[in-house]
Amino acid sequence: MYAVFQSGGKQHRVSEGQVVRLEKIDSAISKVVIFNHVLMIVNNEHINIGSPFLLGGRISAEIIAHGRSKKINIIKFRARKHYRKHQGHRQYFTDVKIITIRDSVRVSGDYLINGT
């Protein structure tokens, strides 16, 4: 079973138990976060595709760590013009572990539809 969801402007293909590196999420370590923007869920041979998102589809994940990625150096240089510019950037990230992937959530006989 795997799913495709959207977070931080990017799409990620995940399965249960997998650790994924996402854009920074403002939440404490060991907290559980829920992603409602699920695009597709594949369960054995059953495929559910949303347009654009699945109603009731949700992915729960536990935050494992926060950090900053490796430094990227940006260098601008113009030959013979005495122009050099150097800049660095380190992107913040959050590592999450996927706990469950649900196609729909059933609450007292009715389906709970998560807002997008």
The H or E element that residue 107 is part of is strand 105-107
Split at pLDDT 50, 70, 90, the class of 46 is: confident
Tens-digit pLDDT profile for residues 22-44: 999 999 999 999 999 999 999 88
Token duo for residue 51: 């347009």
Pairing of strands 92-102, 105-107: unpaired
Residue 78: what pLDDT?
A: 98
